[in-house]
A and B are shown apart, each in its own frame.
Chain A
């Protein structure tokens, strides 16, 4: 089972690598243009000029697909980074200083986690106004509980060790203790949680864009290409339009999950990783 997971993880990594390279280089290689319309082709079927056809305004679907990949991947990764930046310090403070602050932070984490994410994000985005940056920041900030809880658990377990006590005894200040002793133990769990959160964030962004509340046209993202598929004409007569982004989403999220499983198995031999959940 370990070996099989290992192979799947490598497969996942390869797929992700291909995606990232395509997203960065294909637009340059093929001179892709997702924004301008081709005046002779509206709603065109796949042909030699447009490998995936054109949409109702004449834009090349393949270009939008690749550029959409850029956006979806970037939003996923950046928002998870934001979640780390917000969540890790909170988790450390809660675990290290304990007491009332621990209670407040962890209680907030509980409440945030039990709220259906999509509703919370929808409300915030509707008030602030949808755009790719709003979406990234909101998804990012709302991802803090997973990381906080994780770090909190880690800090709690490391806190009681003798070397921490010894460090305190010789007068090391809190900041040094946290950065030198506690943080290094958290790198692996953070990395694993980061991969799973990226997958989740990609799904969240695509759901939002699908509802029209995420990345706004003319900018493309896999989710907002699928937004077009809500019309029956597109759905029934232009499968080349909406199948690729959907399949790309599934492939990406799956690869990230496999890769995350792989890292987790690889790193889990010695550590008890507290609180990692693949939540929806």
Chain B
């Protein structure tokens, strides 16, 4: 297990550099430079501009600039937003909470719906349960989530008036939990639809596989009830790929709610991204992208860890 950990960690390092270099290259392509304000001012001389450029380190080789940027990053400097003139990291942290609230709630909901449904439909293929779950999985993957969101808003907010149109709290400014919950319902449903599909399919598939193993027949012969078999043997084996799927959703949990947040005006990272793009606020765009990239790296690493911890075949053979 330790060897496995060390190996995965060693792979993490070049991947980290690879991703950050890629992000840096993309950010240099973005229009706008810190010198823009100066260049527009007719009273500023060429010598001044040169001096400022040297001060900001803009005349150094790209590689050095990259390392400056990287070390700034590691200290928490993700840049200053063009739009608000505040540090990007601060903006990210502000928005992270709402995003996580939405996505983690939705993920938990998806797990509670998809895993039991998956087990049921594996036990009774082609039954009513199977069709319901295939239907759900299908809606999740085939419908564009923003359309589902629009329909939900149309039905519940516009026509029935029982759920709010968007935002996180009421416009009264008072932050009540009841108001939060009402605002949370539709975005959570929309976001979880996307995940229910994949968790469901994975659960169903792996439970079907495990059910065909000999040790299940043996347990039945020994006299265990079906329920005990499910708890003690089936789930422990079948859930490994499912847990892997869920842990691989980690980056998605941070960055995947862009469209959902946009429709429901949910003040999270996703809508920050869209806002920044509309405002051409490149430091924030790249800052959020970098943040998500780091989460992707960590997420992969943690997913590998979990997979190694759960499945002895993986960790002991290396």
21 contacts between A and B (CB under 8 A): A1-B126, A107-B15, A111-B296, A115-B255, A119-B288, A119-B289, A122-B274, A123-B285, A124-B26, A127-B29, A127-B282, A127-B285, A207-B145, A210-B146, A211-B259, A212-B274, A230-B263, A232-B165, A249-B147, A257-B142, A279-B198
Q: Is the interface of B mostly helix, strand, loop or mixed?
A: helix
Interface residues of A in 92-110 (CB under 8 A from B): 107-108, 110
Identify the B interface with A (CB < 8 A).
11, 15, 18-19, 26-27, 29-30, 126, 138, 140-147, 150-151, 153-154, 158-159, 165, 194, 197-198, 201, 248, 251-252, 254-256, 258-259, 262-263, 273-274, 277-278, 280, 282, 285-286, 288-289, 292-293, 296-297, 299-300
- Which residues of B have CB within 8 Å of A232? 158, 165
Known contacts A232-B165, A257-B142; is A118 also within 8 Å of B150 by CB?
A: no
Given contacts A111-B19, A115-B292, A210-B259, contact A257 B144 (CB under 8 A): no
Cross-chain pair count, CB within 8 angstroms: 126
Q: Are A116 and B255 in contact (CB under 8 A)?
A: yes
Is A114's CB under 8 angstroms from B251's CB?
yes
Interface residues of A (CB under 8 A from B): 1, 107-108, 110-111, 114-116, 118-120, 122-124, 126-128, 199, 203, 206-207, 210-213, 223, 226, 229-230, 232, 235-236, 239, 242, 246, 249-250, 253-254, 257, 278-280
Question: Least Cβ distance of B255 to chain A in Å?
Answer: 4
CA of A280 to CA of B201, assembled, Å: 12
Name the A residues within 8 Å of B248 (CB-CB): 114
Contact across chains for A122 and B259 when beta carbons are under 8 A apart: no
Question: How far apart are the CA atoms of A126 and B283 in the complex, in Å?
Answer: 12
Known contacts A126-B285, A239-B154, A257-B142; is A212 also within 8 Å of B278 by CB?
yes
- A122's partner among B15, B126, B140, B277 (CB-CB below 8 A) is B277
Chain B residues, Cβ within 8 Å of A246? 144, 147, 150-151
| Given A207-B259, A239-B154, A279-B198, A253 and B273 contact (CB-CB distance below 8 Å) | no
